[in-house]
Every structure is written in C-alpha cells, then in structure tokens.
C-alpha cells in the first residue's frame, strides 16, 4: 500500500505540472464545466499540493483521517462548498475529482510498464484513493446544501410570522402556510411578546393564508387564543374561508367562546367598534 | 406554618385588595396566601382583588390551580378577581399544562385590571340600588 503511494508521490514530484495540465484538460472534456478556469486552476493546484503532503507524510490514507491529510481535506471542502454555492451540480463537482484518475493511471502505467503486478496494484491504489476523495467531496457538497436548506427553513419560519400593528391597541398576525407545533410556538411567542411590549388589548389572527384546517391546526389555534386570553388581551380569528368553515363544522371543532370573522376587514371593524371608534366618511 | 415563612403582602385600596407576587412562589407560600387573602376579603368586605404576577417567571400546575382556586374562593366571598401582568412564557406554560383558568378575569397590567374592577363594582352598585 505505502509502496504504491510512494509511486504516486514520485509521479507528483517529477511531473506535477504535466499532471495538473492533463487533469485540467480531462476536467474540461468530461465535467463540461462552465465555471471560471481561474478558480478551477487554484482549486486543483491546492488539491495536488494537499495530496502530495499527505503522501509524503507516510500516514495511512485509507480514511484520510491523519493530520497530514488535513490540507487535502480542506482543499476538497473548499472545492465542493464553492461548487455548491455557485450552483454547480454534485455530479460535476465529483467529476472534477474523478478526472484525476486518467492522468495518474497513464503515469503509473508508464512508470511500471515492466512490472505488471506492481502496475495493477498501483492502479488499484490510485483508483481507491481518488474514489475516496470523490466520496469526501460529495459528502461535503451535501453538507453544504443541507446547511443552505436548514437556513432557508429557519428564514421561512421567521418571515412567515410577522406581527403587525393595525391600530392603537390592535395587533394582527397574518398566518401563511400550514400550522404545525413549531410555527404555532413561534407565532405565540412573538405575538405574546408584542402584546406585552405595546400593551395592546386585541390581537387578530388572520388565517387566510392557511391552506387547510384540521383538528390539529384548530387545537393549535385554540392554544394561542387561550394564551392570549391568559395575558389579559382578547383575540379575533379572521379570514375563515367558506370551505374551511364547512370543514370546521364537519369535524365538530368547538370554536365556542372565540370571536371569528370572515375577513380581516370585518375583524378590524369589530376592533374599532369595541374601542369606541366610529368610522365615518368625510364626503358623501 | 413554620417560623420565618415567607408571606405575600396584601394591600388594601378602598374596596379593592392588591396582591403583588414578587418572588417565585413556593407551594407553602401559595397556600398561606390563599388563607390570608380569604381572611382579608372577609375582614374588609372587599369587592375586588387584583393579583399582579408580572414578576412571576416560573409556574407549575400547582400554582396555576391555586390562581384558579383563589379566584373561586374570592367569588364565593363576593369579590371579583383579576389576574394581571402574566408573562408570555407563563401563559404558554399554563396553556401547555392544559390550564386555561376558565372563569378567571385577566388584564395586561394593574391599570387595566383596576378599570375592569371599577366596571364590575359599578354594575354591582347599580344593581343593588
């Protein structure tokens, strides 16, 4: 094993520039990348450097877990995360690494032409090594993507629950999207906090943007309403579409004791009326 | 009752009693408050009780039940209870514990609580005339 790695080390030592050149050529031919060649040059350069360092250290490269392989891993992470950020596909990113096979194969072949047994094992070593690099790249690529997804989910969660002030002492939350426990918790927390901060006596929860209401969603709504009442404020649920009203009745959900209105406008009108306001038209 | 037991002060404001809970309630303290408050309502003939829990940050089911209990006792003795200033976290906890404190009046702060009490006391007065 280490003997075969030494061969690769020698190859990198003697004609690194040529390997790099062939590799870049191979990448252009197979990966079909439109990415800027400048970053690609830098990336491949640092990859080879890292590989060289790892091999020279003589540490076992089976799992790439020695300290000497850190530089190589860093380079691979850099390659895959920049690929993920630029929108390059996972296949293309791993193809960049896989393209290293041919230049190395050719050189191992040339170097060990008169020793078929060693040549075969040398090629095997190169193959497994590059495969491992590729696997690592893919894993990192996926991790980067998952981080992006998690961040977007969080942003979506925060974006979709704004608490707006409609009038002095009247707050409104336009709910958009399906209500699950997490969302309800977040809405409840931000709404209750705003009630305390502003001293508002009335909160309107508008569920126009909630696609479906089932028993679970209703339960979450009831919880929110109860919490608001416990704080000493009042709550109106608005934006109940005809279909949803039918569903609520058919499911036997009890909304007794909760003020409900068909639209946000109706809810605001009621809120103003309760506050003692009269809306009149200045001109007929 | 043990010696040195912490007691919650009960302030009298005319026909109303004001209880401000400034510490995290121990079960014993809560029970003592229940005793003291019912005695005080009887003694001064109070028609309203305000319990300010704005400084209360931790509740459990016992305290939740006790709040409902005090309100029930007060209403039997002819006084209206308003719980004021509940913190969001406390409200969420009570809801998650399944305690909705049905029948307990709530208000955002002491001022609003006084307004509610003034409203109910007026009603009582006019109905009595």
Q: Note the pLDDT of residue A148.
A: 87
Q: Do A196 and B108 touch (CB under 8 A)?
A: yes
pTM attached to this predicted model: 0.65
Q: Note the pLDDT of residue B129.
A: 46
pLDDT tens-place string over residues A246-263: 888 888 888 888 899 999
Q: Do A192 and B88 touch (CB under 8 A)?
A: yes
Written as one string, the DSSP assignment of chain A is -HHHHHHHHHHHHHSHHHHHHHHHHHHHHHT---S-HHHHHHHHHHHHHHHHHHHHHT---SSS-SGGGHHHHHHHHHHHHHHHHHT--HHHHHHHHHTTHHHHHHHHHHHTTT-HHHHHHHHHHHHHHHHHHHHHHHHHHHHHHHHHHHHHHHHHHHHT---EEEETTEEEEEEES---HHHHHHHHHHHHHHHHHHT-SEEEEEEEE-----HHHHHHHHHHHHHHHHHT-EEEEE---HHHHHHHHHHT---TTSEE-SSHHHHHHHHHHHTT-----S--
Residue range B10-128, CATH number:
3.30.750.24
Task: Select from A188, A196, A230 the Cβ nearest to the Cβ of B101.
Answer: A230
pLDDT tens-place string over residues A53-92: 887 777 666 677 777 788 888 888 888 877 777 777 888 8
Q: Do B95 and A228 touch (CB under 8 A)?
A: no
Residue B6, min C-alpha distance to chain A (Å): 26
Phi, psi (rounded to 5 degrees) for A229: -65, -40
Residue range A164-274, CATH number:
3.30.750.24
Q: Note the pLDDT of residue B37.
A: 92
Residue B95, min C-alpha distance to chain A (Å): 6
Tell me the domain boundaries of chain A: 2-157, 164-274
Predicted confidence (pLDDT) at residue A245 exceeds the cutoff of 80: yes
Which residues fall within 8 angstroms of residue B111, CB to CB, at 6 or more apart? none
Pick the residue of B53, B57, B89, B92 with the most A CBs within 10 A to test the interface with A by mutation: B92
Q: Do A196 and B100 touch (CB under 8 A)?
A: no
pLDDT tens-place string over residues A181-231: 778 888 888 899 999 999 999 999 999 988 888 888 888 888 899 999 999
Q: Note the pLDDT of residue A32.
A: 66
Residues A159/A175, Cβ–Cβ less than 8 Å: no
Residue B4, min C-alpha distance to chain A (Å): 33
Compute the count of residue pairs across chains A and B with CB atoms less than 8 Å apart. 55
Residue A262, min C-alpha distance to chain B (Å): 26
Give the number of other CB atoms < 10 A from CB of residue A251.
12
Which residues fall within 8 angstroms of residue B3, CB to CB, at 6 or more apart? none
pLDDT tens-place string over residues A130-156: 888 888 888 888 888 898 899 988 887
Residue A39, min C-alpha distance to chain B (Å): 51
pLDDT < 70: residue spans in chain B:
1-5, 123-129
Longest dimension (CA), chain A: 104
CATH class of A2-157: mainly alpha
Predicted confidence (pLDDT) at residue A98 exceeds the cutoff of 60: yes
Q: Does B11 touch chain A (CB under 8 A)?
A: no
Q: Note the pLDDT of residue A202.
A: 94
Residues B59/B93, Cβ–Cβ less than 8 Å: yes
Q: Note the pLDDT of residue B108.
A: 92
Q: Do A229 and B100 touch (CB under 8 A)?
A: yes
Residues A88/A33, Cβ–Cβ less than 8 Å: yes
H or E segment to which residue B27 belongs: helix B27-44
Which residues fall within 8 angstroms of residue A194, CB to CB, at 6 or more apart? A163, A171, A200
Place of tokens 């520039």: A17
Confidence of residue A1 (pLDDT cuts 50, 70, 90): very low
Q: Note the pLDDT of residue B85.
A: 92
Q: What ipTM does this complex have? A: 0.80
Q: Do B87 and A196 touch (CB under 8 A)?
A: yes
Q: Does B64 touch chain A (CB under 8 A)?
A: no
Q: Do A230 and B106 touch (CB under 8 A)?
A: yes
**Two structure tokens written together for A238:** 């608005």
**Two structure tokens written together for A86:** 């630029």
């Amino acid at each position: 094993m280490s003997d075969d790695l030494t061969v690769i080390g020698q190859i990198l030592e003697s004609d690194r520039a040529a390997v790099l050149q062939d590799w870049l050529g191979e990448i252009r031919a197979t990966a079909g990348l439109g990415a800027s060649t400048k970053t690609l040059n830098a990336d491949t350069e640092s990859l080879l450097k890292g590989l060289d360092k790892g091999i020279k250290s003589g540490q076992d490269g089976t799992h790439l877990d020695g300290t000497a392989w850190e530089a190589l891993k860093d380079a691979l992470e850099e390659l895959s995360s920049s690929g993920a950020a630029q929108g390059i596909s996972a296949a293309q990113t791993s193809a960049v690494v896989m393209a290293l096979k041919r230049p190395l194969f050719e050189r191992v072949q040339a170097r060990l032409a008169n020793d078929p047994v060693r040549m075969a094992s040398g090629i095997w070593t190169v193959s497994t090594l590059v495969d491992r690099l590729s696997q690592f790249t893919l894993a990192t690529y996926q991790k980067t993507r998952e981080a992006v997804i998690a961040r977007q989910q969080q942003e979506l969660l925060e974006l979709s629950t704004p608490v707006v002030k409609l009038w002095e002492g009247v707050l409104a939350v336009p709910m958009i999207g399906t209500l699950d426990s997490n969302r309800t918790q977040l809405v409840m927390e931000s709404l209750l906090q705003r009630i305390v901060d502003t001293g508002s006596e009335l909160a309107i929860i508008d569920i126009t943007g909630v696609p479906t209401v089932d028993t679970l969603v209703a339960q979450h709504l009831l919880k929110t309403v109860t919490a608001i009442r416990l704080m000493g404020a009042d709550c109106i649920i608005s934006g109940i579409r005809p279909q949803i009203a039918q569903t609520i009745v058919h499911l036997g959900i009890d909304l007794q004791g909760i003020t409900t209105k068909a639209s946000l406008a109706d809810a605001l009108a009621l809120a103003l009326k309760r506050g003692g306001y009269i809306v009149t038209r200045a001109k007929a | 009752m043990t010696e040195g037991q912490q007691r919650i002060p009960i302030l009298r404001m005319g026909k109303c009693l004001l209880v401000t809970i400034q510490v995290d309630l121990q079960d014993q303290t809560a029970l003592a408050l229940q005793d003291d408050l019912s005695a005080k309502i009887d003694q001064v003939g109070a028609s309203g009780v305000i319990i300010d829990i704005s400084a209360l940050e931790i509740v459990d089911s016992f305290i939740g039940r006790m709040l409902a209990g005090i309100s029930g006792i007060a209403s039997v003795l002819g006084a209206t209870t308003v719980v004021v200033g509940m913190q969001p976290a406390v409200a969420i906890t009570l809801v998650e514990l399944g305690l909705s404190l049905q029948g307990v009046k709530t208000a955002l702060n002491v001022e609003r609580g006084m307004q509610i009490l003034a409203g109910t006391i007026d009603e009582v007065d006019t109905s009595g005339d």
